[in-house]
Amino acid sequence: MKKQALNFTVNKQQESIQVTPRTRLLDALRLDLGLIGTKEGCGTGDCGSCTVLLDGNAVNSCMVLALQAEGRDVTTIEGLGEPGILDPVQQAMVRSGGIQCGFCTPGMVLSLKGLFDGNPNPSEEDVRIAVSSNLCRCTGYTKIFDAAQALSEGSLQAQAADGNDDAIGARMVRTDAVEKVTGGAVYAEDIQLPRMIYGALVRSTHAHARILSVDTTGALKLPGVKAVVTGRDIDMGYYGYELHDQRVFALEKARYLGEPIAAVAAVTADIAREAASLVKVEYEELPAVFDPEEAMSPDAPLVHDEPNAYQFDWESERKGNLCYRLEVGEGDVAQGFAEADEVVEGTYHTPEAHAGAIEPHSATAMADPGGRITIWTTTQKPFAVRSYLARALERKISSFKVIPTHIGGGFGGKLYPVLEPYVVLLAERSGLPVQMTLSRDEEMATAALLRHPSKVTIKTGVRKDGALVAQQVRMLFNTGAYGPYGPNTAALGSLMAGGPYRIPNLDITGLVTYSNNVPKGSIRCPSGPQMAFAVETHMEKVARAVGMDGLAFRLKNAWDNGDTTCTGQVLEAVSIKECLKKAAAAVDWDETCPPGTGKGLACNWWVSGTWGTQTLLETNEDATFRLISGCVDMGTGGMTSSVLQMAAAGLGVPAESIQLVRGDTDTLPWDHGHGGSRMTFTIARSAYEAAQDLKQQLLEEAAGQLEAAVDDMVLENGRIFVRGDRSNSVALAQICYNRHKKHGGPMIGVSSILDDAPPTTKPHPIGAFPAPSFCAHAVELSVDDDTGEIAVTRYAAAHDVGKAINPTGCEGQIEGGVAMGLGLAMMEELREVNGKVLNPSFADYLLVSAEDMPPMQTILVEQPAVEGPMGVKGVGEPPIAPPTGAVANALADALDVDVQRLPLTPEQVSTLIATRTHGQ
Amino acid sequence: MANSFEFTQPRDVAEALDALAQPGRVMPMAGGTNIMVNMKRAPLEADLVVDLTRLEELMPISAANGTIRMGAGVSFARLLEWQPGGALEGLMKPMCIAFAGPLIRNLATAGGNICDASAAADISPPLLALDATVELDSAAGGIRTLPLPEFFLGVRRTARRPDELLTAVEFPCPAADERWFYYKLGKRKADAISIVSIAMTVKLVQGRVERARIALGAVAPVAMHARETENLLQGEPLNEVTIGAAAATAAREARPIDDFRATGAYRRQMVETLVKRGLNHIAQQDK
């Protein structure tokens, strides 16, 4: 296509470039002008991450053709402030903690900038509306509203003093905030390499079909195509998480609609997509199965012909489409039901849901002629990318070097290889660097690694006085065509099946079935929102059956210290009752609700970490330090705040003197990855231990120089001195300098951590939750009786974080988790019919927007865990679970109905209202 | 090759009409917020894109001789700032707030939303309730006008000929005592595609309906008047009986479909609910 001249002003500079008519303003800014701060989250005007100011008005740059900007004035994030000086909007965002993964941040800042330029004192309502097109999946918007309020009130200066403090418990500003708020942070799609080409996938057009032939001739003939790869011309091994049942390409048959069959690379992404459409695949359609109950019937079509041939790290019965079965229990439920005064039954359904990170998957690979391959990717587990690739492509782990980029939101969606194998194969085949980025449609429909849909049936026996005596739970999870995380989801779910309650007789069954649906993954708090919905909605029903208030009922049955879980874990540092009381009080639980309104409670428990990691803390010559960890930060900010705060505390120096090393799998020590609420519990604790190790070495060195006992050494304000004699001292910088110059190198503190799980008495693949965290949420809402619309009017979340190393970070996790949980409760549902996702976009798969976010009260409870020096408990995942149950219970309170199904869309609520009317 | 088209940016309507008269597949583009979505998913079916964003003639809103003339190029952001008062503002303002989000409102135009002719297009119900006509201009045929209901032919099909440009929307300025109701039901507060939307204007004279306009969005292949309901109300007082009958009639007139946003049954039920709510609201308005 012929290029035309485009003359316009960008960030006050006159620019003249050549673009094609189809070039979007977004592409011109990113690719032609290198302004990578403008992000593409969807390309369909639904997320706002590409926001720029066009003649002062905030617009989506993906919705504008570049040539339409002729003669106009464009401001991107790079145009705000001056070099080294942030714009006030940027300052406010940095100081308030309104930045997490940072992918939405440039767009968010520009929308706020557009607002404040026209109105320096906007109301909160103005702010909510102004950023309502800018989806943020991390923060729950609350800290962004705080930023706007500080800006509006001119209270930025007051905040600044607070923000500089980096002690334990202080609201230290994360060290990557400035990089992110200025648009400088480099994400996977921002990687640009010389001669780079682009990949696309050929995907199965059937949910279940035998592949008879794959003809790549047409694709190879298309000018601009550089490589085509199919499963028939490479070596493929099976890979997976616990269960290794998946290969890179479908070979004999395709098991879900959209399964990759071939990959192509071409000089432009457009040509690559066209080439993909020219690969001819001949299919023989097979009968398919989608419903998990049907999948378990003996005559159901088999998704995997020989599931027992796959390597599986756990033991389980597997036959037909049953991918995993788990049973765990305690006592005798039959006897328990016999002793109960009431037996209450219920079945609860949750739909497929998407992690919803605003950044789509993107990966780039380059193969060197010697055979080594470098991969830039957006991953929560860079080291696992290597091992997955090694298994999938039958190579050595050491053949891969993975460079993790900034992650534009993970939430579990970036735990597993999605594009990495294809860019590797295409880079090898073409000899060129290859980049592949999923479109939003692909991201939602085929590569999603969705949250497992669930069907949970519960039968509970209770005494008149409200004491729980028995509970039987059957959980059914549909893992789709492959089961990378199905077994793990069921195993985690089984630990929540009895809630955080004392139930003497328990019988829990977890079932995971294969089907011809899109494979499911391990999304933030896997099985948590499903189980919190089922168990907590059911508990409310049980409480009503014995005429008890939901809070009183929970307080009667909730765990105390010394209680045991279904696997026999003896609990310590239990705080569930404190969380319940505080959350309930925050919504004035005891005050009666007017008609049409209701209040609800839900509580849960969850694991902190852990898995293995190693941290090094190394001296520089001037007594600054390098913190070296292989863990990446998916956006929460743990790595750039609480980990540094813990290291600083362990060493006794300011956090600002510790530099976080950003590296790759060649240079950093191995780590499991970012997930499982482990950042502050595991990584920060490891950093603390490494710091203590280094401190000991420094003190020993000082003791030698000062000719005194090590035990008498004190480190303070950058000097080490002899206790009781401040005149006898040596500067830390002097010790470091001497070590480097005279003893051949730095001092390095080392910590390797792999926690033992707490002991249990029952066989179970997970067994126990180390340093379990507890939480309770309370919600107040009103319902429009005619339309079924819900308005959440108040929301309180109380979380036991053990010790809040950085309260801003803890609150950010909670507020963001609540936003995500409210989405699951009220609007998020990926609708799959016969294996086809009907709503693969942010226009039709709705995330909570700034206008939907209720006023939040975030309550930090600190009941220190027995593990670790500070008593930290994980907080990354837990906040997403209780909103489902809390909203369902508030709705039940408002309408006197049984809620059995999420999400509670207006139509779903309207259906509930109709059943009530008919019942009366 | 995919997405191969030419681009032209006319400076005035005359130039735009000449461009639209070119042979081949010519696509006028205003805010672009639908076209760009389509282009992301598939090659644009166009040989020439005619950019309408510089046609300042299409931007003003004016009033003369009891008629409001809204240029097709007016953006939703601009429309949101417009403060005509009364029924006009009562319909337009909440519609604009419910229309997508602020980023899209800064781009999308009234004319674009009409020409896209989605059944769920937010601007359609208010304009139908205001008895709007559209003005089409072409180099060959000159100006013609069409009542809005005749402009919508079917799912994303309109009476606009390929060489025609929708230049303006006109409607009689509502009287000061004109009563109104607007509601958009979606799954999210901001930026949601409507499940059902409804716009009403009613003129009451001595407690009886002199003229009622009830327009419904997202419940039929095109945005529609509930004609039978409007006729039913003619000359009637607004009371429980007439309102109940009107609501039931409107629900019957709607032709909603099932999709992933809602079932047809729920949409139909909501038509009844919202017509009832709207007429009750109107009966009590300004008292």
- Residue A81 pLDDT more than 70? yes
Pairing of strands A713-716, A719-722: antiparallel
pLDDT of res. A155: 79
In B148-207, the residues whose Cβ lies within 8 Å of chain A are 185, 187-193, 195
Any domain includes B140 = yes
- Mean pLDDT lowest among A177-181, A209-213, A519-523, A866-870: A866-870
Any domain includes B39 = no
What distance in Å separates the CA atoms of residue A423 and residue A265, rounded to the nearest whole number? Answer: 9
pLDDT of res. B34: 96
For residue A4, list chain B residues with Cβ-Cβ distance below 8 A: 7
Count how many pairs of residues, chain A against chain B, have C-beta atoms within 8 Å. 149
Question: Could you identify the residue written with the tokens 């409480």?
Answer: A543
Distance, CA of A22 to chain centre: 34
pLDDT of res. B286: 66
Using CA atoms, how far residue A491 sits from A355, A496, A678, A803, B109, in Å, is: 20, 9, 18, 28, 52
Q: Which CATH architecture has domain A1-181?
A: Orthogonal Bundle (1.10)
Average pLDDT, chain A: 96
Any domain includes B222 = yes
* Neighbouring-strand partners of residue A312: A243
pLDDT of res. A744: 84
Any domain includes B95 = yes
Structural domain ending residue among the three candidates B150, B172, B194 = B172
Cβ neighbours around A748 below 10 Å, total: 16
Distance from the Cα of A288 to chain B's closest Cα (Å) equals: 22
Task: Quote the ipTM score.
Answer: 0.97
Cβ neighbours around A588 below 10 Å, total: 14
Residue A821 three-state SS: helix
Question: Are B127 and B188 contained in the same domain?
Answer: no
- Show the tokens assigned to B69: 């003339």
Structural domain ending residue among the three candidates B110, B142, B172 = B172
8 Å CB contact between A402 and A375: yes
What distance in Å separates the CA atoms of residue A319 and residue A302, rounded to the nearest whole number? Answer: 10
Pairing of strands A243-246, A239-240: antiparallel
| Phi and psi, residue B280, nearest 5° | -60, -45
Instruction: Indicate yes or no: CB of A65 within 8 angstroms of CB of B2.
Output: no
CATH of the domain at B116: 3.30.465.10
Structural domain ending residue among the three candidates B172, B187, B209 = B172
Any domain includes B32 = no
- Show the tokens assigned to A724: 């009781």
State which residues form the domain around B62: 58-172
Buried-state track B233-256, b at ≥16 Cβ within 10 A, e below 16: beebebeeebbeebbbbbbebbeb
Instruction: Indicate yes or no: CB of A44 within 8 angstroms of CB of B6.
Output: no
Residue A221 three-state SS: helix
What distance in Å separates the CA atoms of residue A374 and residue B137, rounded to the nearest whole number? Answer: 58
| CATH number attached to the domain at A613-753 | 3.30.365.10
- Residue A164 pLDDT more than 80? no
Question: Could you identify the residue written with the tokens 């320096």?
Answer: A120
Cis peptide before B174 (omega within 30 of 0): no
What distance in Å separates the CA atoms of residue A212 and residue A385, rounded to the nearest whole number? Answer: 31
Instruction: Indicate yes or no: CB of A45 within 8 angstroms of CB of B103.
Output: yes
Any idea where the domains of chain A sit in the sequence?
A: 1-181, 197-286+365-408+414-446, 454-609+762-919, 613-753
Residue A333 three-state SS: helix
Does B266 lie at the interface with A, CB-CB under 8 angstroms? yes
What does each of the 287 residues of chain B score in pLDDT, given as a tens digit?
Answer: 456 899 999 999 999 999 999 999 999 999 999 999 999 999 999 999 999 999 999 999 999 999 999 999 999 999 999 999 999 999 999 999 999 999 999 999 999 999 999 999 999 999 999 999 999 999 999 999 999 999 999 999 999 999 999 999 999 999 999 999 999 999 888 788 899 999 999 999 999 999 999 999 999 999 999 999 999 999 999 999 999 999 999 999 999 999 989 999 999 999 999 999 999 999 998 64
What distance in Å separates the CA atoms of residue A170 and residue A97, rounded to the nearest whole number? Answer: 13
8 Å CB contact between A5 and A16: yes
Question: Are B238 and B273 contained in the same domain?
Answer: yes
User: A802-832: per-residue pLDDT in tens?
Assistant: 999 999 999 999 999 999 999 999 999 999 9
- Residue A920 pLDDT more than 50? no
What distance in Å separates the CA atoms of residue A542 and residue A339, rounded to the nearest whole number? Answer: 15
- Mean pLDDT lowest among A104-113, A688-697, A734-743: A734-743
Does B79 lie at the interface with A, CB-CB under 8 angstroms? no
Q: Following CA atoms B244, B210, B201, B238 in sequence, which dihedral angle do they give, to the nearest 10 degrees?
A: -30
Question: Are B167 and B196 contained in the same domain?
Answer: no
For residue A62, list chain B residues with Cβ-Cβ distance below 8 A: 36, 40
Question: Are B167 and B213 contained in the same domain?
Answer: no
User: B85-97: per-residue pLDDT in tens?
Assistant: 999 999 999 999 9
* Site from B191, B219, B258, B273 to mutate, A interface, most A CB atoms within 10 angstroms: B191
Instruction: List the single residue in B2, B37, B101 with the smallest CB-CB distance to A274.
Output: B2
Question: Are B156 and B192 contained in the same domain?
Answer: no
Instruction: Indicate yes or no: CB of B185 within 8 angstroms of CB of A906.
Output: yes
Comparing CA positions, the residue from B127, B219, B215 lying closest to residue B166 is: B127
pLDDT of res. A918: 56
Question: Are B196 and B162 contained in the same domain?
Answer: no
Residue A413 three-state SS: coil
pLDDT of res. A158: 55
Directed axis angle between helix A156-163 and helix A142-153, to 10°? 120
- Residue A349 pLDDT more than 60? yes
- Residue A792 pLDDT more than 50? yes
Distance from the Cα of A131 to chain B's closest Cα (Å) equals: 8
pLDDT of res. B1: 46
Distance from the Cα of A133 to chain B's closest Cα (Å) equals: 5
Question: Are B192 and B125 contained in the same domain?
Answer: no
Q: How confident is the model at residue A917 (pLDDT cuts 50, 70, 90)?
A: low
Share of chain A above pLDDT 70, in %: 99
> What CATH class is the domain A197-286+365-408+414-446?
alpha beta
> How many residues make up chain B in this entry?
287
8 Å CB contact between A483 and A510: no
Any domain includes B111 = yes
In B124-143, the residues whose Cβ lies within 8 Å of chain A are none
> Looking at this protein, which amino acid is placed at residue A450?
L
- Residue A874 pLDDT more than 90? yes
Using CA atoms, how far residue A404 sits from A375, A400, A680, in Å, is: 8, 12, 20
Instruction: Indicate yes or no: CB of B106 within 8 angstroms of CB of A907.
Output: no
Q: How confident is the model at residue A157 (pLDDT cuts 50, 70, 90)?
A: low
Instruction: List the single residue in A43, A133, A831 with the smallest CB-CB distance to B103.
Output: A133
Question: Are B273 and B248 contained in the same domain?
Answer: yes
What distance in Å separates the CA atoms of residue A462 and residue A542, rounded to the nearest whole number? Answer: 7
For residue A47, list chain B residues with Cβ-Cβ distance below 8 A: none
- Show the tokens assigned to A526: 């896997």
Question: Are B63 and B154 contained in the same domain?
Answer: yes
In A775-794, the residues whose Cβ lies within 8 Å of chain B are 786-787, 789
Question: Are B156 and B194 contained in the same domain?
Answer: no
Domain A454-609+762-919 has CATH 3.30.365.10: yes
Instruction: List the single residue in A44, A70, A273 with the smallest CB-CB distance to B9.
Output: A70
Instruction: Indicate yes or no: CB of B100 within 8 angstroms of CB of A133.
Output: yes
8 Å CB contact between A508 and A329: yes
Closest residue on chain A to B264 (Cα):
A907
User: A548-577: per-residue pLDDT in tens?
Assistant: 999 999 999 999 999 999 999 999 999 999
3-state helix, strand, coil in chain B (%, to 5): 35, 25, 40
Instruction: Indicate yes or no: CB of A787 within 8 angstroms of CB of B97.
Output: no
Question: Could you identify the residue written with the tokens 């060959």?
Answer: B140
Distance from the Cα of B130 to chain A's closest Cα (Å) equals: 25
Using CA atoms, how far residue B145 sits from A155, A877, A885, A895, B165, in Å, is: 56, 59, 55, 51, 11
Does A693 lie at the interface with B, CB-CB under 8 angstroms? no
Any domain includes B127 = yes
Could you tell me if residue A379 is left (phi over 0), alpha (psi between -120 and 50 degrees) or otherwise beta?
A: beta
Element (H, E) at A552: helix A550-557
CATH of the domain at B219: 3.30.390.50
- The total number of structural domains that make up chain B: 2
8 Å CB contact between B173 and B66: yes
Question: Are B150 and B65 contained in the same domain?
Answer: yes
- Residue A182 pLDDT more than 60? yes
